[in-house]
Structure formats: structure tokens, C-alpha cells
Amino acid sequence: MKTQRSALAWILKTVWLSLGASLIATTAHAATHYQRLKSFGFPESGGKYPDAPVLQASDGVLYGMTSSGGASNFGTIFRVGSDGTSFSVLHSFSKDMLSHQLWAEGGLLEGSDGALYGATSAGGAFDSGTVFRVNKDGSGYEVLYNFGADIFDGYNPSGLVEGIDGTLYGTTLYGGTNGYGTVFAVKKDGSGYGVVHAFLDSGNDGAYPGGLMRAGDGVFYGTSSGGTNGAGMVFKLNSDGTLYGLLYNFNFSTNGIVGVGPGALVEGSDGALYGVGEGGTEGGGLC
């Protein structure tokens, strides 16, 4: 999983450098649009290492998490205006609620009720991760679910998505019936936790999934390790666990253009799915 993050970081750095070179080549004026909104780590009470992506909520404000710093040095939930003003810490995680994010796609979710929801990959009552909620003003923080009481329920969760039914869905890296991770569901009040799919790591099923995304058709799509070729796969499933299916198997070398270790997915305006992975023609990653 760490190699996936390294490849993703390399790709993003390459895209950024290429974009910067293109902008400079076309017009110097475009470069003036760059603006630093916030430097983390000074002081550490504001948080350090904002590993997860930020969320721009319906109020136009940016919300995010850091994996270190804060009042107890275990990370924070923060908000900052899109112009860099009005930065504030909404919540500082304490020792028993670690905020370290193992997956870059594990950011915050704005629920249909206007609250913020997220997952921590460690900490909680059993040090195996949590699902939490907090209001946009920092009030009402609560842990909705503690992972680790039963390994068959999965543990070490990634980010969340909301289903059409208003339920929260996500993945766990480990645990489940077969020990290869799960897709889970839990209601916004913390009730009704259940495993939607337990990965098998055999045949057309994967293992150790990354984050989920919900497409315009209401179906969930995601990526995982494993698959027929052992190089990762793209899968889909309904919110009730039905119609689980393999969409694409990655290969270590198929005409030198597909890769291993697929990353998170996004849905394009054309309805297609896009993502990044390791490997590729030059061996340095692909998208």
C-alpha cells in the first residue's frame, strides 16, 4: 500500500511540474493565481501533515484532517476559507482516537444532513479505527462506530461515501470473514453496522481494498489488490452487496501499458471512471 502512495505522489508531482511548465510557457500571468492558503506545523496546535484530501463543503469552506499535531499531537480536523482566511481547528484527536490516515482518499464527507463524517484508520476503543461525525462549527463530535471488537466486521477503515439511502459506506483494509478486508455500511447515528462484502482474494475477487466512490448510477466502484492476475482490480457492487463484479483486471505487463496497484477512482463528466496506478510503459506509474 505504501508503494501505491509513493507512485501516486510521483504522478501528482509530475503532473504538477508539467502543468507548471505549460503555464509558464503560455503566459506568465497564470502563475500569479497560485496562492498558499495555510502552512501547517507552525504552531503544531493547528496540526501537521494534512495527508487526506480537503473537502469543499456546501458552505464554500474547505475542511480537512491532519495526521499529527493538535492539542494532543494526534491530529486534527480543521477548516479554512477558500481564500486562506478564518483557519480554525474544529477537533483535536486524543490518544485513544488516532487520526493517522493510511489512505490519501480517506478524507471527510459532507452528509446530506450537513454534518461532516470521516474515518480514522487507527485509534478508538480497540485501536482499530473509528467512524465519526462532527458539525461544521466543531460541535457535536462523536464516534459512531469502533472497529476491532470483532475481526469479522473488519478493521482499519478508509474514507466514507453516502449511499442513496443516506447510509454511510466504506472499506476496511483488513478483517472480514476471510481476512482480506470488507465493504461495510453504518447508519449516521452509528446503528445498523453490517458487512456488505467480504473480499476473498481468489479468482475474480480482490483483497485489501482502497476507497469507494458512488457513481451517478448509484452503484459503488472501487479498487483492490489481488484479482485474477494478482496485480489489482476494479470492482463494482450495489449498496445491498448484490451484483458484485469484476470490471477490470490489471496485469503486470500487457503490451507495457497497464499497471499494478490501482489507486482511487473518480467519475468523469463523460461517465467513465478514471484513476492512477503503478507500472505503465515507463514503469513510473500511469493514469
Q: Give per-residue burial for 127-145: e unless 16+ CB within 10 Å, then b.
A: ebbbbbbbebebeebebbb
CA gap 138, 71 in Å, rounded: 14
Supply 38's cell numbers. 495555510
CA gap 181, 178 in Å, rounded: 8
Sequence letter at residue 150 = D
pLDDT, one tens digit per residue, over 116-172 is 999 988 888 888 999 999 999 999 999 999 999 999 999 999 889 999 999 999 999
Q: Give the pLDDT score at 151.
A: 94
Q: Cα separations (Å) of 146 from 139, 155, 242? A: 20, 9, 26
pLDDT, one tens digit per residue, over 1-22 is 434 444 333 333 333 323 333 4
Q: What is Dmax (Cα atoms) for the chain? A: 57
The 3-state secondary structure of the chain reads: CHHHHHHHHHHHHHHHHHHHHHHHHHCCHHHHHCCCCCCCCCCHHHCECCCCCCEECCCCCEEEEECECCCCCCCEEEEECCCCCCCEEEEECCCCCCCCCCCCCCCCEECCCCCEEEEECCCCCCCCCEEEEECCCCCCCEEEEECCCCHHHCEEEEEEEECCCCCEEEEEEEECCCCECEEEEECCCCCCCEEEEECCCCCCCEEEEEEEEECCCCCEEEEEEECCCCCCEEEEECCCCCCCEEEEECCCCCCCCCCCCCCCEEECCCCCEEECECCCCCCCCEC
Supply 257's cell numbers. 501499458
Domain boundaries, the chain: 36-100, 104-275
Mean pLDDT of the chain: 82
Burial class (CB in 10 A: 0-12, 13-18, 19+), 125: middle
Higher-pLDDT residue of 154 and 101 is: 154
CATH 2.40.110.10 fits 104-275, yes or no: no
pLDDT, one tens digit per residue, over 198-246 is 999 987 899 999 889 999 999 999 999 888 888 888 999 999 888 898 8
CA gap 193, 73 in Å, rounded: 30
Mean pLDDT, to the nearest integer, of 184-208?
A: 94
Supply 81's cell numbers. 476559507
Cα-flanking dihedrals φ and ψ of residue 106, to 5°? -85, 55
Q: Give the pLDDT score at 12.
A: 32
